[in-house]
């Protein structure tokens, strides 16, 4: 035995790489089943309803829309109630179009819009029932946004020959 210190043998760690790098794969979602049907129902409902309500802000056929607007809001913004309702109509039409082409984003947008409407209605006596309805609709819009995260890019199921 030698009294001299012996060198330690150290081996470099070996990192094994795959033969070729693979791109991350994306899960394919099939457009079928009850959740897909719920997504479709909410998707098209939140396209048609905002487009219809938004367009009607210019014609007042479905409802006297100015009656649903708190008088404090036009005073606060310094615009007439009718001009504000025209603006609301444009916003609702745009929201319907966003839902049509980007339901994941549009669902959140419509939910936020419905929360603003709910707050407006709660500032006036006699509209709590309508505010409650709009709060419920906002939950459906949130459900649309969540379902769209799964189904927005779904593919049709294979056809049986």
Looking at the domain assignment, is residue 26 inside a domain? no
Q: Which two tokens stand for residue 61?
A: 């056929």
* Res 123 pLDDT > 90: yes
Asked, for residue 90, whether it belongs to a domain, the answer is yes
Residue 31 included in any domain: no
- Identify whether 15 is part of a domain: no
| Contact by Cβ (8 Å): 138, 118 | yes
- 110, 50 contact by CB (below 8 A): yes
Number of domain units in the chain: 1
Q: What is the pLDDT of residues 55-88, one digit of tens each?
A: 999 999 999 999 999 999 999 999 999 999 999 9
The answer to whether residue 128 sits within a structural domain is yes
Q: Does a structural domain hold residue 138?
A: yes
pLDDT tens column, 108-118: 999 999 999 99
Which residue carries 């669902």 as its tokens? Answer: 107
pLDDT of residue 161: 67
Domain that holds residue 119: 50-151
Whether pLDDT at 14 is above 50: no
- Cα diameter, the chain: 105
Contacts of 23 (CB under 8 A, 6+ apart): none
Quote the percentage of the chain above a pLDDT of 90.
70
Is the pLDDT at 40 greater than 70, yes or no?
yes
Q: Is the dihedral of CA 69, 72, 77, 79 positive or negative?
A: positive
pLDDT of residue 18: 58
In a domain? residue 73: yes
Residue 37 belongs to some domain of the structure: no
């Amino acid at each position: 035995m030698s009294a001299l210190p012996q060198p330690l043998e150290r081996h470099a760690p070996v990192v094994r790489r795959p033969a070729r790098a693979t791109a991350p794969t994306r899960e394919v979602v099939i457009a079928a089943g009850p959740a897909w049907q719920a997504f479709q129902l909410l998707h098209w409902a939140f396209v048609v309803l905002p487009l219809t309500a938004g367009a009607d802000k210019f014609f007042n056929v479905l409802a006297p829309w100015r009656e649903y607007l708190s008088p404090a809001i036009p005073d606060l913004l310094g615009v007439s109630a009718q001009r504000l309702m025209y603006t609301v109509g444009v916003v609702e039409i745009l929201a319907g179009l966003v839902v049509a082409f980007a339901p994941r984003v549009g669902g959140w947008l419509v939910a936020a819009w419905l929360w603003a409407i709910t707050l407006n209605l709660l500032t006036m006596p006699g509209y709590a029932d309508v505010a409650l309805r709009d709060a419920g609709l906002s939950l459906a819009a949130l459900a649309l946004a969540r379902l769209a995260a799964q189904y927005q890019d779904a593919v049709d199921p294979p056809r049986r020959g």
